[in-house]
Amino acid sequence: MKSLKQALQHKPITLVIKRILFVKGCIVSCLFPIFNNIIDDFTKSFPEIEISYIEPPLNKLKGITGESWTNEVLSATWSRTGNPDWSRSKYVKHLTINYFFEIGIQTIIKNMQPNDFVLFAEDDQSYSINAFEHILKLMEKNQQNTCFSKIAIEPYKEYYKKTINTFEVHLWGAWGNLRSKNQIEIFLRYLKFSNFAESEDTLGIYLCKSLNQTVEVDCVSKHFGRDIRLPKI
């Protein structure tokens, strides 16, 4: 979060950031004082930005609290192939991520204007100090055929400042994605009918393929949580 704070302190004057929403996605062991400290720090450091957080209640209908019906869904979807893509634990993990992700989107989109954008991020991302200069350029470059823009991909910087043909490159991952209000609404429509069969991390790129749209990439953030070279604590 330190690098995000520094990047915000160096954002362009012409870029207006209305709100930062933190989603506390928690199933067990929900006491997390570091989270509260970050909220307090950002609130004091950026009084011009609305800093808020949500802690969505657990929803049994979403299959995230050990419901037995998730076994039936998983079996009906993958086990018949003889080589299921997901184990039950991984399947429930993706159901959980989808739930918190969707709640976050629905919360933030309520007050969005047509020209607003949302940057999706995870807590294990680092940012270049001039990240928001690049983000502003991506917003200005956003075209009708743009599916979304992305500031963090794997492998890092391989597609730096490029327009990506989504039929040639599989840009998975919801972290670092920049979407306009219209792009979010389309994505939500797809997620509504596929959240039990597809992760939001991969749904986005399949949506782009089906719409035959491109992704604008400018890597100014790194998802270090997935860097195998870093030691695990």
CATH code where residue 19 lies = 3.90.550
Between 79-93, 142-156, 172-186, the lowest mean confidence (pLDDT) is in 79-93
**Is residue 233 a part of any domain in this protein?**
no
User: Which one, of 59, 41, 42, lies nearest residue 50 by Cα?
Assistant: 42
**Is residue 135 a part of any domain in this protein?**
yes
| 176-230 confidence digits (pLDDT tens) | 899 999 999 988 888 887 777 777 778 888 888 888 888 888 889 988 766 656 5
136 in helix, strand or coil? helix
* pTM recorded for the entire structure: 0.85
Name the more confident of 126 and 198.
Answer: 126
Using CA of residue 208, residue 23, residue 54, residue 44, what is the dihedral sign? Answer: negative
**Is residue 231 a part of any domain in this protein?**
no
Pairing of strands 126-127, 162-165: unpaired
Please give the pLDDT value at position 231. Answer: 52
User: Cα 219 from chain centroid?
Assistant: 15
Residue 148 in contact with residue 176, Cβ under 8 Å?
no
**Is residue 112 a part of any domain in this protein?**
yes
Average pLDDT, integer, range 20-27: 89
**Is residue 60 a part of any domain in this protein?**
yes
Q: How far apart are CA 192 and CA 194, in angstroms?
A: 6
Q: Tokens representing 228?
A: 């195998």
**Is residue 232 a part of any domain in this protein?**
no
Residue 52 belongs to what domain range? 2-226
Residues 6+ apart with CB under 8 A from 128: 3, 7, 134, 220, 221
- Number of domains the chain is built from: 1
Conformational region of residue 28, where left means phi above 0, alpha means psi within -120 to 50, and beta covers everything else: beta
For residue 47, is pLDDT > 60? yes
**Is residue 90 a part of any domain in this protein?**
yes
